[in-house]
Amino acid sequence: MKKVMIALGLVLGCASGALAGDASAGKGKTLVCSACHGADGNSAAATFPKLAGQNEKYLIKQMLDIVSGARPVPTMVGQLDNMSREDIADIAAFYASQANSGGQTSAELLDLGQKVYRAGVSARGVAACSACHGPRGSGNAPAGFPALAGQHADYIADQLRKFQIGAENTLEQNAAGRTNDGDGRIMRDVAAGMSDNEIAAVSSYIAGLH
């Protein structure tokens, strides 16, 4: 059984990079999604991420990770169970085609947020966010690195804290953490070296990027 699950994981992993979705078909498949993420992928509440403008490869991977259980998201339980890989690709293509509504950076957090985003925190080995996500937060679509610009600050901060928990690698903590950043542990290692103030500042800075 374990070998079957590993094989399935490999198939899904390969599929996440190979699927090409149809945005026009995807629009009609997002009715349920729109209740939380908004009709065009710009969610009104920071509890739910903005999906508008996100790159397809990243969206597909996250949805497949949710289906497989690699990324536990309680509010997503059952939402993707009856969807095919084609459905998932179409949904990803639709959201990728939409424009992100943007956000604002808090003036008092600007300097620290910009420093962390563009230069990292060298004293603790924290890499610059811009290295993977780009100077404007547009991400790296071919590599599957997500676009961050305009995302809700509270959502970004929550995900960084989840990666911190995931970095601890204990069963109890992982239930509330994230570990689906791959064997390279890029996000877990970055988040683990950040202070609460740095997380708040860089999250606010990201919200205002465009």
Q: Which residue has the tokens 């094989």?
A: 7
Q: Is the pLDDT of residue 141 over 80?
A: yes
List, in order of start, the domains of the chain with CATH numbers.
Answer: 2-96 (1.10.760.10), 107-208 (1.10.760.10)
Distant-in-sequence contacts of 68-75, Cβ < 8 A, 24+ apart: 68/8, 68/9, 68/12, 70/9, 70/179, 70/180, 71/178, 71/180, 72/175, 75/36, 75/47, 75/48
Chain-centroid distance of CA 191 in Å reads 14
Q: Taking residues 184-191, what's their average pLDDT?
A: 97
Please give the Cα distance from 146 to 26 (Å, whole number): 19
Please give the Cα distance from 10 to 162 (Å, whole number): 25
Most confident of 2-6, 15-19, 70-74: 70-74
Q: Taking residues 17-31, what's their average pLDDT?
A: 88
Please give the Cα distance from 64 to 91 (Å, whole number): 12
Please give the Cα distance from 184 to 81 (Å, whole number): 28
Lowest mean pLDDT among 2-11, 31-40, 50-59, 124-133: 2-11
Q: Is the pLDDT of residue 80 over 70?
A: yes
Q: Taking residues 27-38, what's their average pLDDT?
A: 97
pLDDT at site 176: 83
Please give the Cα distance from 182 to 58 (Å, whole number): 13
pLDDT at site 18: 55
Query: For 143-180, how does the pLDDT look when each residue is reduced to its tens digit (9 = 90+)?
Result: 999 999 999 999 999 999 999 999 987 656 566 899 99
Mean pLDDT of the chain: 91
Residue 19 — very low, low, confident or very high, per pLDDT cuts 50/70/90?
Answer: low
Q: Taking residues 119-131, what's their average pLDDT?
A: 97
Q: Taking residues 23-38, what's their average pLDDT?
A: 97
